[in-house]
Amino acid sequence: MHETTRRLICRAVFLIVCLVPTLGLFAWVGFTRSSPYQTARRRAWQQQLSQEWGLEVTLERLRTPTRGVYLLDRVRLADPETGERLVEIRQLELGRYQDEWLLRAAQPELKGEHILRLWEAFHERFLRAEPSRLRRAQLTCGELTISRTDGQGATTLSDVRFRLLLAAEGPQVTFEFRDVALQMAEPAQLRVTRDRQRSPPATRWELNTHSTALPTSLLADYLPSLHWLGTEATFQGAVETVHSPGGWQGEFSGRLRDIDLESLITERYDHKLSGRADVLFRRARFEDGTLTDAAGDVVGHGGSVSRSLLAQADRTLGLAAAPRVRALEADPLLRYRELKFAFALNRQGLRLVGHCSGPDQGVVMADGYGPLLQDQSEIAQVVALVQTLSSPQGEQVPATKEAYQLLHILPLPSRQRDRPTITAQGPFYSPLRMR
């Protein structure tokens, strides 16, 4: 072969094997680094995530530091209908290991009033998705900040782990977290399962705080009635509830601590009652959003009470007020030393049994001079509780918003006129019971 021919062949091989691939590589790198390509890629990701998550997803920047790992900067989730921002994440890292998606969020911030909207989107897109579309996923973050609706600060959760699993009953989500403001020996756990073995399918919730009392303000934006308990109230125990087409049903047991009686009673009704109280629920069951059976103990740690509340409890609640309570010329407010009683509540009625310390038996409330209220071993109709708190005239239930809210959750009797008795309930054997 002539030398000239050999040179041409070498030059052609160099061009095809070395120069052209190198130039092509430089061209590809330049193209992928260009602003139009990055913008198009970012928009494609936004569109895909919006379709999968059911929310409007925007992000400022998308990077791929290593193969199969993606970094999304300034991720924002918004309501697609109103455009209102729900969540903002400083950086979201995505990757995949085997058949599970792994996500790590840096400094996510969530508005408390949007928890329900965020959950609705997740519930519809993942728990109720077709089996073929379900994927295992795990989201972790060091800290999650939840701002309160009232603007009074925020709650910070740490060691947050959110995991989507495929259980035998159906899709299952577990959410574990710690409250930064509390010394939690073990994380609280919330498990949500879409039970597809039922007909029709239903969603089951299980919350267990373990050894830690969680602030009720964590869910106050989702359950507005928790605001009635005050800002310092906590709950320790377990709750199991099922949301079906017929409504909420389930059971719970645990202890509510540091209930603000002024927020619960004085600010909502016509009477005065202040101080802090603890409530231990030994058993509690509800169906269709209505409490059907409950028993427990109430302990108050002192405060003020109006004579009108004591007198009304004497008339409607089956309790006996001390004669000095009826003195017209006396101060309308009394300082009570102790409030302590057991209660049993169901559709047959309400019974209170006093347990205040002292020589007298059956004392529900006492001050430094002796009993203020005593039980009479009587069973009161459930509606009497509403009449007592609302201070009605006569026997009719007052037409007030507060009365309606209370009647909505109480176990009202049926039309059948049974003799008002509270039968002895069996032991509350439940896996939810506190150890």
Of the candidates 245, 265, 282, which is a domain's last residue? Answer: 245
Judgement on whether residues 272 and 376 belong to the same structural domain of the protein: yes
Amino acid at 252: F
pLDDT of residue 425: 40
Is 370 among the domain residues? yes
Q: Indicate whether 264 and 326 sit together in one domain.
A: yes
Q: Are residues 220 and 359 in the same domain?
A: no
Query: Looking at 201, 219, 245, which one is the last position of a domain?
Result: 245
Kindly state whether residues 289 and 402 are assigned to the same domain: yes
365 lies in the same domain as 241: no
- Domain range for 187 is 92-245
Same domain, 234 and 259: no
Q: What is the pLDDT of residue 76?
A: 94
Residue 187 within a domain: yes
**182 shares its domain with 307:** no
Instruction: Report pTM.
Output: 0.72
Confidence (pLDDT) at 257: 93
236 and 296 assigned to the same domain? no
144/85 Cα distance (integer angstroms): 16
66 found inside a domain: no
pLDDT value of residue 405: 57
pLDDT tens, residue by residue, 382-414: 777 777 777 545 445 555 555 545 555 656 555
- Average pLDDT along the chain: 81
| 292 and 399, same domain (yes or no) | yes
**121/172 same-domain check:** yes
Domain count across the chain: 2
Q: Does 200 map to a domain?
A: yes
Nearest one of 103, 390, 136 to 271, comparing CA atoms: 390
133 in a domain, yes or no? Answer: yes
pLDDT score at 270: 80
pLDDT of residue 25: 65
What was the pLDDT predicted at 363? 93
Q: 343 and 390: one domain? A: yes
The answer to whether residue 47 sits within a structural domain is: no
Q: Which residues of the chain have pLDDT under 50?
A: 392, 394-395, 404, 415-435
Assess whether 208 and 298 both reside in one domain. no
For residue 139, being part of any structural domain is answered with: yes
216 within some domain: yes
